[in-house]
Amino acid sequence: DAGVTQSPTHLIKTRGQQVTLRCSPKSGHDTVSWYQQALGQGPQFIFQYYEEEERQRGNFPDRFSGHQFPNYSSELNVNALLLGDSALYLCASSLVDRKHNEQFFGPGTRLTVL
Amino acid sequence: AQSVAQPEDQVNVAEGNPLTVKCTYSVSGNPYLFWYVQYPNRGLQFLLKYITGDNLVKGSYGFEAEFNKSQTSFHLKKPSALVSDSALYFCAVRDGPNSGYALNFGKGTSLLVTP
């Protein structure tokens, strides 16, 4: 049973560029959340997708956008990259919308902005 | 608003000794509480959760946590630490069934178990 997978593993971009990160949820899961984990910090919630729509958004600017596909996989897009966007980006999946359900995390994509 | 505090940046314990990693929370309603562990260059792995019921929750790898409503705490414990338990531990909270869907994480506690 495949867990949450993310691609790419690492990414290096320069300021002003755009990046797309990809996530496939755990088998049977239909909800995908994205988190940003800066060095030495806990993960910060970016947004969550369910039924191909953004259901909740954290305190992140509009440069951060996402998408969920019919097969439940998801993309995170970041435009006009800033140095401060350098972080580990984590995707998490869960089943339906039960808030007591734990989220299962992927290994993350390490983004470095130069 | 919901939040979590992990007051210790690092916890050091000798192998075989009991360990405790502290977490306190702040919510307006009844909390859903979670513990995750992160190994270097890895994502977060779920350890255990408290939703309702028994205040002592047992989880993966011999870990357990005790929910204390009066002290608003959810400390992670293990009776006998292993060197392989060395990792970064995160406590997270949701403000019950009427909250949003985001998990709110603490800043993490680094656990170092020495042989």
pLDDT digits over B54-86, tens only? Answer: 999 999 999 999 999 999 999 999 999 999 999
Q: In 3-state terms, what secondary structure has residue B84?
A: helix
- The pLDDT of residue B96 is above 80: no
User: Is some CB atom of chain A closer than 8 A to the CB atom of B19?
Assistant: no
Distance from CA of A15 to the nearest CA of B (A): 24
Q: Do B43 and A4 touch (CB under 8 A)?
A: yes
% of chain A at pLDDT higher than 90: 85
Cα separation, B58 vs B67, in Å, equals 11
C-alpha A16 chain-centroid distance:
20
> Residue A97 has what pLDDT?
61
Confidence of residue A2 (pLDDT cuts 50, 70, 90): confident
**A43 to chain B: nearest residue by CA?**
B105
Q: Do B101 and A4 touch (CB under 8 A)?
A: no
E strand map for chain B:
3-5, 10-14, 19-21, 24-26, 32-38, 44-50, 56-58, 64-68, 73-78, 87-94, 104-105, 109-114
Residue at B46: amino acid letter: F
CB A6, CB A66: distance < 8 Å = no
What residues contact B54, with CB distance under 8 A and at least 6 apart?
Answer: none
User: Is some CB atom of chain B closer than 8 A to the CB atom of A51?
Assistant: no
- The pLDDT of residue A109 is above 70: yes
Distances (CA, A) of A77 to A62, B69, B73: 10, 40, 37
Cα separation, B103 vs A37, in Å, equals 13
Q: Choose among A33, A45, A90: nearest Cβ to B43.
A: A90
**A107 to chain B: nearest residue by CA?**
B43
> Residue A39 has what pLDDT?
92
More confident residue, B31 or B80: B80
